[in-house]
Each structure stands twice: as C-alpha cells, then as structure tokens.
C-alpha cells in the first residue's frame, strides 16, 4: 500500500500536480467562457462579470482594436495600470494604444484562462493570457518606427485583472505582469516592453534615466504615448499617482476616443 501511495505521489510531482488534484484547465477563447463560468459555482453577478471580463480582454485595445461594444464597458473613472505605465485615463490609454497599433504590426494570437473572482475584492476578476505573433508590419513606438523584421514574439504568461464598478463598467484594468520570467521569449518584459524586446529594441530598466526622459518628453508632446495621465485628469482615487507637468489630456490628442 505504502509503495503504491509513494508511486502515486512521485507521479503527481512529475506531472506538476498535487495528489488528488486535477490538471489545470486549458486556455480558451471567448466562446468557451460561458460554459466554464456556468459550472464554476459563481454567483449570477460574478458569472456575468467574468463573461464581461472575457469579452474585454479579447478587445481591450492593445493586442486587438477596441470594439464599439467593449468601448461601452468603459467607466467614466477608468484607469489602466501596468508595471511601468499608469495610471492612464481613458483618453490617454486609447490615444497611446492608437499610436502603437500593435495589431497592425503583428500577426497575433491571444488566448486566456477563464476569469476568476478575487477573494479579497469581489469586483475584481483575474486571468492569465498568452500572446504570440510575428512582426509583419511597421511598428510605431512613438519615438521611432521599426519596419517588419519577421521576428517571432512569444510573451510569457501575463496576469491581467478587470475591476468593475456598481454599473458593471470597467473602472480599472491591469496588465503586463509576467507570471513566470522563464517562460516565453521576452523574459520579464510584458505588454509594450515585451513587444519592443521581441523586435530587438532595448528595454531599459523602468527607473533608468532614459525611461524617465521619454516619459517626460511624452507628457509634453501631442499625439505621443503617455506614461501617466496628468493628476488633474484622473479620478480622485488615483490623482496622487498622476504627473503634475506636461499637457492635460484635452490638449494631448488630436482625436477623441
């Protein structure tokens, strides 16, 4: 008996599983979410929000254009937060992504694990996404343009979260956080930093003088990617983390998103 139990435990370790636990679920697209969420034991509100989060992550503006339906999910108090960038309000977020247009420069595929409710914040839902693609078009990073290199981009697993307000609108979106730096081809770089590293561009440390200079420059240039929104253009809860110099959002973009 004990030898059989030991054999089972060793087998579980080799497979990366604890005894008695099932294998992790496969990642899926939006079409697989409804069934997965319906059998998860979530409340009706949590199920609805998990499905909305699944729709959001497939059309959030960075890896894919933001669809009109997804745009309707954006709260008036929306902010984006990443490891380096943020907080960005809606206009600065969509304006910045409108410069990059990663989806025009890469032939991308994105898959996501089912969203789960945060046990400490029931308005927040988490997933892990996988992104890969080939650099097939001109990449605009704001300060430079990179012609197609044909290089492959395989970003490691990225943790993303979507937080809803009382009206089921997205009031906070976080992304770009690499869950395992040994997985993928971009190391610890996710989101735009992962894109840059994939095409051979330098990705200096977030606290470097170069990054600070580019963020300073971006704050003062129109139609240029923003690192943070102006404090006066952020929801009160995030104003202390905004910048106090450079263009206000209304003056920073030619187009209104």
- Ordered by start, the domain boundaries in the chain are 22-251
Q: What pLDDT shows up at residue 5?
A: 38
Taking only the tens place, the pLDDT of each residue in 125-162 is 999 999 999 999 999 998 889 999 999 999 999 999 99
Q: What pLDDT shows up at residue 150?
A: 98
CATH architecture under which domain 22-251 falls: Roll (3.10)
> Looking at the whole model, is its pTM more than 0.85?
no
d(CA 53, CA 70): 10
Q: What pLDDT shows up at residue 6?
A: 37
Q: What pLDDT shows up at residue 206?
A: 75
Q: What pLDDT shows up at residue 70?
A: 92
| Positions in the chain short of pLDDT 50 | 1-27
Q: What pLDDT shows up at residue 42?
A: 80
Q: What pLDDT shows up at residue 250?
A: 97
- CB-based contact 230:248 (threshold 8 Å): yes
Q: What pLDDT shows up at residue 212?
A: 86
């Amino acid at each position: 008996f004990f030898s059989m139990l030991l054999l089972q435990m060793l087998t579980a370790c080799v497979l990366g599983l604890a005894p008695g636990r099932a294998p992790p679920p496969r990642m899926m697209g939006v079409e697989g979410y409804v069934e997965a969420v319906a059998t998860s034991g979530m409340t009706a509100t949590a199920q609805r929000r998990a499905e909305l989060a699944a729709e959001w992550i497939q059309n959030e503006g960075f890896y894919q254009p933001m669809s009109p339906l997804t745009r309707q999910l954006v709260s008036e108090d929306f902010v984006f937060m990443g490891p380096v960038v943020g907080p960005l309000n809606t206009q600065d977020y969509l304006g910045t992504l409108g410069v990059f247009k990663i989806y025009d420069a890469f032939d991308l595929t994105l898959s996501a694990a089912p969203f789960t409710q945060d046990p400490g914040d029931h308005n927040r839902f988490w997933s892990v996404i996988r992104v890969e693609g080939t650099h097939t078009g001109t990449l605009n990073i704001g300060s430079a343009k990179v012609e197609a290199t044909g290089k492959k981009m395989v970003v490691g697993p990225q943790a993303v979260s979507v937080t809803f307000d009382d009206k089921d609108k997205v009031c906070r979106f976080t992304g770009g956080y690499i869950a395992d730096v040994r997985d993928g081809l971009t190391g610890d770089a996710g989101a735009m930093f992962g894109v840059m590293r994939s095409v051979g561009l330098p990705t200096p440390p977030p606290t470097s003088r170069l990054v600070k200079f580019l963020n300073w420059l971006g704050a003062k240039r129109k139609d240029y990617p923003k690192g943070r929104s102006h404090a006066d253009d952020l929801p009160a809860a995030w104003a202390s983390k905004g910048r106090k110099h450079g263009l206000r959002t209304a003056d920073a973009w030619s187009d209104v998103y």
